[in-house]
Amino acid sequence: MMSSELKKRERDVPDQTKLDRSGLVALCAASAVVPDSPVQAIVNGFAYAVFNLDGRYYVTQDLCTHGPGSLAEGFVIDDEIECPFHQGRFHIPTGRASYAPCTEALRTWTAREIDGMLYIDPGETP
């Protein structure tokens, strides 16, 4: 499920293979996401960035809204992620663009830790 290789990314969330009737899909092991080191999780061709801020997990789209940068390859600065492409920043918990040239917010999902794995509901309303 995880890959360091960037794959085709889309701005809209594609249909996901459901884990079960709850609608959740697995992204990665919680232990793989350490503070200041985002993880890219690719599920059904869509890339997510997974973050650990002081033991709380957050999930955003991996693709920067300003350009082709992978946020999982970016730099965590406090509660923001800096895109490696143009150094724009986003507030990780909310996805809000916080530093130019980024102006469009990221799509975010609520991370759920279950039995050591991190899950999201891709159909969650933003």
Contact between residue 57 and residue 95 where contact means Cβ atoms under 8 Å apart:
no
Q: How far apart are CA 93 and CA 75, in angstroms?
A: 15
Q: Looking at the 3D structure of the chain, how many domains does it have? A: 1
Annotate 19-64 with DSSP letters as a single string: SSTT--EEEEEGGG-BTTB-EEEEETTEEEEEEEETTEEEEEESB-
Q: What radius of gyration, in Å, describes the C-alpha atoms of the chain?
A: 13
pLDDT band with cut points at 50, 70 and 90 for residue 100? very high
pLDDT band at 1 (very low <50, low <70, confident <90, very high): very low
The answer to the question of residue 111 being in a domain is yes
pTM of the shown model: 0.82
| Residue 81 maps to a domain | yes
- Each residue of 34-92: pLDDT tens digit? 999 999 999 989 999 999 999 999 999 999 999 889 999 999 999 999 999 999 999 99
What CA–CA distance (Å, rounded) separates 48 from 101?
Answer: 21
Residue of higher predicted confidence among 106 and 2: 106
Parent domain of 46: 25-120
CATH number of the domain that residue 112 is part of: 2.102.10.10
Is 3 inside any structural domain?
Answer: no
